[in-house]
Structure 1
């Protein structure tokens, strides 16, 4: 790969990361119940991803019943990840919500031995302790009534769901196209959330649809598709190091558009958590 094309691919990866980072500020800003946001995000993304699959001639065939079950469980986990992540954003702020979710690379490292034959590396226990220390600093007080603590707990639950989804897909469906995978995930999430429309107020969509469209197209379709495509040119570890800039981009966007200013606690705790993500990514690259 020439230096120019390498720089172009790196720039596209950073742009994809910025696009995905908009999920935090948009999730906080959109004035609708969380599950309703996720339904509209999923159904709109499904329409655009289906069109993209048709345009690119991507096959939608699933090879086996086992893969169908994997797709379904992974989609359920993805939906749970999105819903709990948006609850984290609504209860706390963009900085705390995004940083809490970014514990997922260390959670993956700790859970991986349960999914494959790899042994637990003692360094992962140390990284796990660093993450816990970061969360302890992040939390203003350990009172379950405190919205910020609830936000952190929802963020951690979101990270666990996301980590489990990645581990499931990694083991079973390496022979499928990323856009096709994303299409099935969002269409299943939308189908699972249809009942929500019957007992939750969805009238706000008339004023919120431009922002929901942004979330569906910019964050989900363009951001995630570009990020998946970047894996052709970079190791997963390199992509995850760049990806760990998401909370930083999200905090910057929230500062300019939502006037959210992170506290010193958020800054110190967040830097500790992001440091563990970068250490784990560099270590995985060196293996």
Structure 2
């Protein structure tokens, strides 16, 4: 293994670990969800802008839709963490690849593959288990918001496929800016403790801003599948931190549902990568024979 590849693996593990702290930090900040989302976005906007230095905003339909979906995704994640368990919030958000498969049929006119159909049914079973376990109104609402956050993340992915000259970092930066603007009214008139300000600073600077920088540096030397699989550390570590520090634990049925969802999404990623390689090899062989 060369040094660049090893360094990239370390970087993306750091990124996943930093992102996984979101659940526990949000739990300990005694502020409304929209205030947290807006405050975090202000810090993350500064950090990512300093990293990009000269962002290129084209304000194309794809960039704007991607930024709006990104904003909805990060706002939804904060709200979900306030209403349901951290495990439910992050795992239900990680259903995004399944929503991408569904939306691709409608938006991109792509055919849905057999393993996508199987994954959709399997994830649906996992999500039903989440709702069976969390019968209280707050948890039920939080689960719905978390699913919405996953759909929004899928919207970001679809939007990026339409972009030509824009870069993902510029789309996400615009998403942070939109979130900051939306959140400003929820910051006015509130009194913040030192702990609140430290929490918002850590969320925006490290949990999102620096985590994304490490991620962007890592993906240059890793395959897309490697990056995706390593990033699955986030939904695994997120509820672990919350359990160890705050004592919050999901119910047994939710744990089964979470295992089904994560297992399905990982299996689909592996299978999709394998099928794409087979199709690529067939195309190359056909070109050679032709």
TM-score for both structures, normalised by structure 1: 0.87
Q: Distance in 1 between matches of 2:26 and 2:33?
A: 8
The root-mean-square deviation of aligned C-alpha atoms, in Å, is 2.1
Show CA shifts across 1:151-175 (max 9, x none): 21111011111111121022214x4
Matches within 5 A, 1:186-201: 186-198=176-188
Which whole-Å CA distance do the structure 1 matches of 2:69 and 2:267 have between them?
26
Of residues 144, 151, 166 in structure 2, which corresponds to 1:160? Answer: 151
The equivalent residue for 1:62 is: 57
Counterpart for residue 140 of structure 2 = 149
Q: SS state of the match for residue 120, structure 1?
A: coil
Structure 1 window deviating more from structure 2 (256-265 vs 18-27): it is: 256-265
- Distance apart, 1:4 and its partner CA: 4.1
- The question of whether the paired residues in 1 share the 8 Å contact of 2:4 and 2:221 is answered with no
Unaligned runs of 5+ in 1: none
The aligned counterpart of 1:222 is 210
1:84 counterpart (73, 76, 79): 76
| Cross-structure match for 1:278 | 266
Cα shift at 1:207: 3.6
Distance change >3 Å, CA 176–CA 28, structure 1 → 2: same
Q: Which moved more, 1:265-274 or 1:75-84?
A: 75-84
Is 2:174 aligned against 1:180?
Answer: no
Q: Secondary structure at the match of 2:221?
A: coil
Matches within 5 A, 1:115-264: 115-140=107-132, 146-173=137-164, 175-198=165-188, 202-204=190-192, 206-264=194-252
Distance 1:177 1:258 in 2: 38
Q: Does 1:94 align with 2:58?
A: no
**1:230–1:170 Cα change, 3 Å:** farther
- The answer to whether the 8 Å contact 1:238/1:285 transfers is no
| Alpha-carbon separation, structure 2, partners of 1:282 and 1:194 | 41
Picking from 255, 274, 278, the partner of 1:267 is: 255
Indicate conservation of the 8 Å contact 2:92/2:146, yes or no. yes
Q: Does 1:36 align with 2:35?
A: yes
Could you tell me how far 1:212 is from its partner in structure 2? 0.7
Deviation at 1:176, TM superposition (A): 3.6
Larger radius of gyration: 2
Task: Show the counterpart of 2:281.
Answer: none
Does the 8 A contact of 1:42 with 1:187 survive in 2? yes
CA shift at 1:142, angstroms? 7.4
Alignment gaps of 5+ in structure 2? 277-290
Structure 1 residue 41 displacement after superposition? 0.9
Give, in angstroms, the shift of residue 117 of structure 1. 4.0
Q: Do the aligned partners of residues 177 and 3 (structure 1) sit closer, same or farther apart at CA in structure 2, a change above 3 Å counting?
A: same
1:257 and 1:194 map into 2 onto residues whose CA distance is 30
